[in-house]
Amino acid sequence: MKNGIVISAILLQFVAASSFAQINLSSMDVASSDSLQRCKIRHFSPGNSGLKKVWKLPGKLSSNRSDKVMITKDSTDIVSVSMPSCILYYHTAPDSIVLIGSESALKERKYVRRKPLKVFPLKYNDSIKDSFICEGMYCGNHPFRETGTTFVKVDAVGSIVLTENDTIQNVKRVHTIDTYSVCMDINVAALDTAELTQVIDERYEWYLPASQYPIIEDVTSTTYLNMDAIGTTRYAYCNLPEDKVAYYITTEEENTTDEIDNSFDEEMAEPDIIHYNMETKGGIVSITYDLDADATIGTIVASHMGMTYRHKEWTQKAGQGYSAQIDCNGLRKGTYILYINVNGKVYSEKITI
C-alpha cells in the first residue's frame, strides 16, 4: 500500500509537466541549426475557428522573460529541439513531422508508435487523427507508458492585430487535442494493471505563411485521477518576427535579473461565465446552460484509456436558456470524461453511458 501511495504522488507531479512544444521543422536543411527566443506570455482565450478571423491582441503579448531554444538537424532528418527544461526529438519529411522522443533531467520518452504533429502544407480544414504510444522512464527506475489519440486541424485563418496601426496578415491557426492515459509502476511488468491517470491537452498555434515556427502558442492541460479532474495548467508563448519584438518585450525586461515578475506563474482568478446543468439519458448527453458573456465552447468525450470519441465546438452570445446535445450512441457502456472548455476555462464531469 505504501508503494502505491508513493507511485501515485510521483505520477501526479509527473503528468502536470508533460506537455510538449510543437514546431514546424520539415523545411530545415540537413546539418543545419537555428535558434529563437521563446517568450512566456499570459494565457488568453483563443477564440473560435473559421475564415477571416481577427485576433485582437494588444496588451496580451507582454513578456518579461524568454528562453533560448536551439534547433539542429542531422543527416537522418532527425531534428533536436533543445530548451532549458528538455530536449525534443522529431523525424521530419517534406510533407510531415512526427514526435519520436524526448529527454529531461527526470524523464526519458520514446514513442513506439510515433505521434504525428503536422502535415504540410498547412491548408484550412485539413486534419489528422491518429493514436500514439509512448514508453519511458521516470527518475531512472519508474517505467511509465502513455497511450492516447491526437487530433490536429488547421481550424482558422485570419489576421493578428498588434496595435491600431500594425496587423499581421494571412495567419493560419492549428488546433491540437491530445487525450491520453498514463500508467506508472516500479515494475515494468505491472504497467498493464497499474492505476491510470488521464490527461487532456488543447494547444493552439498561430503560423505565418513563411514561418518555420509558431509565432504564438496557447496551451491548456487538464489532469484526471480516476477520471476526476485534479488540476488544470494553462500557459502561452510568443515568438513574433524580429520587426515586431518591440510590441511585447524590451531588452531591459528580458535581461532583468534583480526582480522577477512571478505573476506570470499565477493562475488568474476568472469568474464563471457559464452556469450549466447536465443529464444523460440513454446515449444522449444534454447540457442546459446560461452565459454571462459571449463564449467559445468546446466539448470532448474521452475514455479512461485516453481515447477521444466525441469532439464538438460552437460559439454563443451571452444569454439564457441554451441547450446542447452530445450523441454518444455507439460507445461501449461505461464511464467517460466530459471535458468542457469555455473561453479557455475548463469544467469536467463524469458521464455514464
Domain total in the chain = 2
pLDDT value at 13 more than 80: no
Mean per-residue pLDDT, 30-48: 83
User: Comparing C-alpha atoms, which of 349, 340, 350 is closest to residue 299?
Assistant: 340
pLDDT, tens digit (0-9, with 9 covering 90-100), for 235-263: 899 988 777 776 676 544 444 433 444 44
The span from the CA of 42 to the CA of 62, in Å, is: 8
118-159 tens-digit pLDDT: 888 889 999 999 999 999 999 888 899 999 999 999 999 999
Residue finishing a domain among 223, 238, 265: 265
Does 230 lie in the same domain as 261? yes
For the segment 186-211, what is each residue's pLDDT rounded down to a tens digit?
A: 777 667 667 889 999 999 999 988 77
The average confidence (pLDDT) of the chain is 84
Q: Is the pLDDT of residue 311 over 80?
A: yes
Question: Pick from 233, 265, 297: which residue ends a domain?
Answer: 265
Whether residue 258 is found in the same domain as residue 313: no
328 lies in the same domain as 182: no
- Tell me the C-alpha distance between 337 and 321, whole Å: 24
Same structural domain, 197 and 318:
no
Say what the pLDDT of residue 269 is: 62
Average pLDDT over every residue of 220-240: 91
HSE-up (13 A, CA, CB side) for residue 61: 24
Asked if 202 and 170 sit in the same domain, the reply is yes
* Bigger pLDDT: 293 vs 29: 293
| Domain endpoint, select from 241, 265, 289 | 265
Are 261 and 306 part of one and the same domain? no
Q: What is the pTM of this model?
A: 0.86
Predicted confidence band at 80 (pLDDT cuts at 50, 70, 90)? very high
Has residue 268 got a pLDDT over 70? no
pLDDT of residue 240: 83
**CA proximity to 167, closest of 218, 219, 240, 63:** 240
Q: 249 with 285, same domain?
A: no
Q: Across the chain, where does the E strand assignment appear?
A: 33-41, 50-56, 66-73, 78-82, 86-93, 96-104, 107-119, 127-138, 142-163, 166-184, 196-207, 216-225, 228-238, 274-281, 284-291, 295-302, 308-316, 319-327, 335-342, 345-352
Which of 54-63, 136-145, 221-230 has the weakest average pLDDT?
54-63
Expressed as residue numbers, the domain containing 283 is 274-352
Kindly state the percentage of the chain with pLDDT values over 90: 53
Q: Looking at residues 39-54, what average pLDDT do you find? A: 90
pLDDT on residue 250 = 56
Give per-residue pLDDT as tens, 174-184. 999 999 999 98
Give pLDDT, residue 263: 44
- Cβ pair 33, 68 in contact under 8 A: no
The C-alpha atoms of residue 300 and residue 305 are separated, in whole angstroms, by: 14
CATH number of domain containing 314: 2.60.40.3080
Both 343 and 289 in one domain: the answer is yes
